[in-house]
Amino acid sequence: MSHPKAETPRHLGKFDPTWPRLTATKNDVFHIYSDESSQHGGSLFTAIGAVFTRNDCAREMAQQLNEIAASSVRFPLKEFHWTKMEKVHAKQYHDLVSLFATQIRRKRLRYWCTLIENAKRNNRDYNNGDAELGLTKLSFGSIYALASMRGPFNTYVVYPDKRTTSHAPEDMVHALNHRIQNDFRVDAEPFLKVAPTPSHESRLIQVADVITGIIAYEKNGNHRVAKPSPHKLALWEHAKRELGLDTFAEPTKGYVALRFTIRNFDFTKAKPPPPKKATKGGQTSLFM
């Protein structure tokens, strides 16, 4: 299967009636792939992005991305990674962005990015001084926002980029199911598992990495430094054209925001944690 050719940039609201469209129904299985950008190194903002798609669409897109990565005989690409992008792979990255935008237009994919002002993060009072716990909680927002659009009667499998942490993924499964039960007043447990996965093993995590990296690139003003990377600057411009946006630094509005969402984290709604509750074995549970 060949990947889609680059198309004339169009606004997300315009669709080609010849494209096959998938209608999600009850009991579908959806995958959510998440990654962070600019969480280290003194950046003003951290961006946490998540890609949401049905499991069959995820397999199809992964195959297309494999073909894009191998499309240059001379410079095949092992992994798409925003911070490691090189000029020789510029075309492959442009094709990834074009494929992403096409899947958004075909209603086969949603994306959600939460922007966090790092100066306002308070791990001491809100996360028991645990920065890793704070990042995990912040990633919860993008993941839950996407799943809640489909409601509690489907199945969700979450694949965050694997990082070093002492917190069990089962704690996030419990927290996500608890939230959706409260919001929808049901007993369902639609979140099946959270499976941290190294990015080099998942093309869809790589998509989350690149798109989220592009957003953080502009939000942190890296496009305005004295000598910006020409190939990253070109990819940022290409992404704006493909997605029909003037900027990634502000929350998306209107119809575009239904499938490609950028939101600022609202610190006024953050609540200090309740007293710790011990789980079986005497361990303290995440989010509890």
State how far the Cα of 78 lies from the Cα of 140, in Å rounded to an integer. Answer: 29
Of 23-32, 49-58, 78-87, the poorest mean pLDDT is in 23-32
Backbone angles phi, psi at 228, to 5 degrees: -70, 155
Residue 166 domain-assigned? yes
Alpha helical stretches, state H, 106-168: 123-126, 131-148
Q: How many CB atoms lie within 10 A of CB 120?
A: 10
On the question of pLDDT at 19 being above 80, the answer is no
Q: Which of 156, 167, 230 is nearest to 193 (CA)?
A: 156
CA 132 centroid distance within chain? 18
Q: What is the mean pLDDT of residues 74-87?
A: 94
Q: Which pLDDT does position 287 carry in this prediction?
A: 47
State how far the Cα of 169 lies from the Cα of 215, in Å rounded to an integer. Answer: 27
Helix (H, G, I), strand (E, B) or coil at 111: strand
On the question of pLDDT at 281 being above 60, the answer is no
Looking at the whole model, is its pTM more than 0.95?
no
Residue 26's identity, in one-letter code, is K
Helices (H), strands (E): how many in the chain?
A: 7, 6
Residue 164's pLDDT band, with cuts at 50, 70 and 90, is low
Residue 223 domain-assigned? yes
Q: Which pLDDT does position 282 carry in this prediction?
A: 43
Considering the chain, what is the average pLDDT of its residues? 83
On the question of pLDDT at 17 being above 60, the answer is no
**Two structure tokens written together for 14:** 């315009």
Query: Do the Cβ atoms of 223 and 235 come closer than 8 Å?
Result: no
Q: How many CB atoms lie within 10 A of CB 232?
A: 20
Look at the chain and report how many structural domains it folds into: 1
Residue 4 domain-assigned? no
Residue 1 domain-assigned? no
What percent of the chain lies above the pLDDT cut of 70? 77
Q: What is the mean pLDDT of residues 177-191?
A: 94
Residue 273 domain-assigned? no
Residue 277 domain-assigned? no
- Kindly report the CATH number assigned to the domain that includes residue 162: 3.30.420.10
- Digit-coded pLDDT (tens) for 101-159: 999 999 999 999 999 998 876 555 555 555 666 667 778 889 999 999 999 999 999 99
Q: Which pLDDT does position 135 carry in this prediction?
A: 66
Residue 243's pLDDT band, with cuts at 50, 70 and 90, is very high
Alpha helical stretches, state H, the chain: 55-69, 90-105, 123-126, 131-148, 169-184, 203-219, 230-243
Print the SS3 string covering 179-201: HHHHHHCCCCCCEEEECCECHHH
Residue 202 domain-assigned? yes
State how far the Cα of 242 lies from the Cα of 137, in Å rounded to an integer. Answer: 31
Please tell me the chain's helix, strand, coil percentages from 3-state DSSP, rounded to the nearest 5: 45, 15, 40
- Name the residue range of residue 36's domain: 29-266
Q: Which pLDDT does position 168 carry in this prediction?
A: 86
State how far the Cα of 90 lies from the Cα of 216, in Å rounded to an integer. Answer: 19
